[in-house]
Amino acid sequence: MATNEEKLKTIISHAKEYGFVFPSSEIYDGLSAVYDYGQLGSELKFNIKEYWWKAMVQMHENIVGIDSAIFMHPTTWKASGHVDAFNDPLIDNKDSKKRYRADVLIEEYIENKLRAKIEKEVEKAKERFGAAFDEAQYLSTNPRVVEYQKKIDEINARFKKALEDSNMDEMKQIIVDLEIACPISGTKNWTEVRQFNLMFATEIGSLAEGANKIYLRPETAQGIFVNYLNVQKTGRMKIPFGIAQIGKAFRNEIVARQFIFRMREFEQMEMQFFVKPGEQKHWYEYWKTARLKWHQALGLSDKKYRYHDHLKTAHYADAACDIEFEFPMGFKELEGIHSRTNFDLNAHQEFSKKKLQYFDPELNENYVPYVVETSVGLDRMFLSILSASYKEETLEDGSTRVVLSLPPFLAPYKVAILPLMKKDGLPEKAREIMDQLKFSFNCHYEEKDAIGKRYRRHDAYGTPFCVTIDPQTLEDNMVTIRDRDTMKQERVAVDQLERIIREKVDLSSALKKLV
């Protein structure tokens, strides 16, 4: 069985080999936690965005979309709390000069030193007891396992309190008490733990004008908050209504690993839903259910998703949860759903000195709406889809094939057009078919290599259909259509192709599952 690390490595190399994702500026050895999307990756990303946008904007009469600027007035970030509180606790090792997130060092200690031991004990017991093994009972009665679990609980309680109190001395003390060493130098020669702001800052204007510090936005949400009244008034929106946005966000992440899971430049798909005060709980539950349904409609396996309710919420939220996905590295946050109260609008009202109240014609009164937010990372969506679709299959003849069984409507190419040979009028006929289909689908024309090799290549791209044009086609206008998932080949008339392909790759079939 491949380890989590090996599984992720396989996805990373597949993504690179087939033009999905490349390390940024690779010829200069790359830039940590920054990635570029290649020719297939950008298509897949575009299709994910379309699925989200259509589901959120087009399918809801009371949700509209905007595209706000990355740069915003610096006071935005003071009001939102990001200048003062968007921090990670950092610690440096004095010998290796390497910088770490203190909370991650502690979490990794728990994972690698304690949880790994529990897993090992369970594996051994499984082998020993076979089918009679009762894992739940074993976990609660085996003295060694109980001891490890007790230690995990103790560390977690201490760690949680230190985080809540922003007690950096206690955070350092936990690292010292657990005797955590730097993985590079092997020493325990640590600095104090300090808070480090995650926003990237730059300057706007020339020096002559007097430069001003501004930030690259760390979330797209604030562009929605500051525009909410513009949209409400010009769009004549009535509460409850939503504003959606897809765009780049930037965070100076210190722990930059796990491929496109945690990046310094990434994309978010966020929607703020403005509701009457007091109705936020209802809408929070509504969006929690609706967003899980959106993920599950991809058909990647319902078991790969779970909710993680936040027991302790941020100061501005009265409820929050994550939708977690089983990535190659285990279950991790994919999307956040937050009931943000009226914190952001109130803060902007206070800092801007502009009224941000909504006049409710039904109640005949003004109020600052409450907000329920749904926020999903586009790059995390990409990784979840890529990793769940990647399969290595052993075929009947003993050979293996790598196939990306992407949801067909998300596939970069919908159909490959493949003349069997590069002669006898087959390329011309193939081009003629391509010219008919390219108005409806992203097609890929290929005439190089044996047909089997071309099929395998398109399996690895995730192309749902391959259409082969052979000498018989010139006589009867029939082609062979091969299905990526079943590998079944069928002879069909050229004028049936559009219908057959559309039935499988049409985005509206996924959207219909949502209503």
Residues in contact with ligand GAP by the rule CB under 6 A = 219, 221, 251, 253, 262-263, 266, 268, 270, 333-336, 373, 375-377, 379-380
Q: Which residue number places its CB atom closest to ligand GAP? A: 377
Residue 335 — φ and ψ, nearest 5°?
-140, 150
CB of 428 to ligand GAP, least distance (A): 46
What is the maximum span of the chain, computed from C-alpha positions, in angstroms?
Answer: 81
CB of 48 to ligand GAP, least distance (A): 12
CB of 276 to ligand GAP, least distance (A): 22
Could you say which DSSP state residue 341 is in? T
Query: Closer CB to ligand GAP, residue 106 or residue 249?
Result: 249
Query: Closer CB to ligand GAP, residue 339 or residue 375?
Result: 375
CB of 209 to ligand GAP, least distance (A): 32
Query: Closer CB to ligand GAP, residue 103 or residue 270?
Result: 270
CB of 493 to ligand GAP, least distance (A): 45
Instruction: Identify the helix (H) or strand (E) that includes residue 172.
Output: helix 168-177
First to last CA, the chain: 39
Q: Which amino acid is at 504?
A: K
Residue 507 — φ and ψ, nearest 5°?
-60, -30
Query: Closer CB to ligand GAP, residue 311 or residue 395?
Result: 311
Query: Closer CB to ligand GAP, residue 290 or residue 478?
Result: 290
Residues 6 or more apart from 481 whose CB is under 8 A from it?
A: 465, 466, 467, 468, 489, 490, 492, 497, 500
CB of 334 to ligand GAP, least distance (A): 6
Question: Helix axis angle, 378-389 relative to 39-53, nearest 10°?
Answer: 110
CB of 164 to ligand GAP, least distance (A): 18
Residues 6 or more apart from 168 whose CB is under 8 A from it?
A: 89, 102, 162, 192, 193, 194, 195
Distance in angstroms (rounded) separating the CA atoms of residues 366 and 349: 14
Helices and strands (H and E) in the chain: how many: 19, 23
CA angle 169, 175, 178 (to 5 degrees): 135
Query: Closer CB to ligand GAP, residue 155 or residue 383?
Result: 383
Query: Closer CB to ligand GAP, residue 373 or residue 459?
Result: 373
CB of 230 to ligand GAP, least distance (A): 19
CB of 447 to ligand GAP, least distance (A): 39
Phi-psi region of 258 (alpha: psi -120 to 50; beta: other; left: phi over 0): left
- What are the angstrom distances between the C-alpha of 184 and each of 31, 83, 92, 109, 488? 20, 32, 12, 15, 52
CA angle 335, 337, 339 (to 5 degrees): 160
Query: Closer CB to ligand GAP, residue 262 or residue 454?
Result: 262
Could you say which DSSP state residue 436 is in? H
Query: Closer CB to ligand GAP, residue 190 or residue 266?
Result: 266
Distance in angstroms (rounded) separating the CA atoms of residues 293 and 297: 6
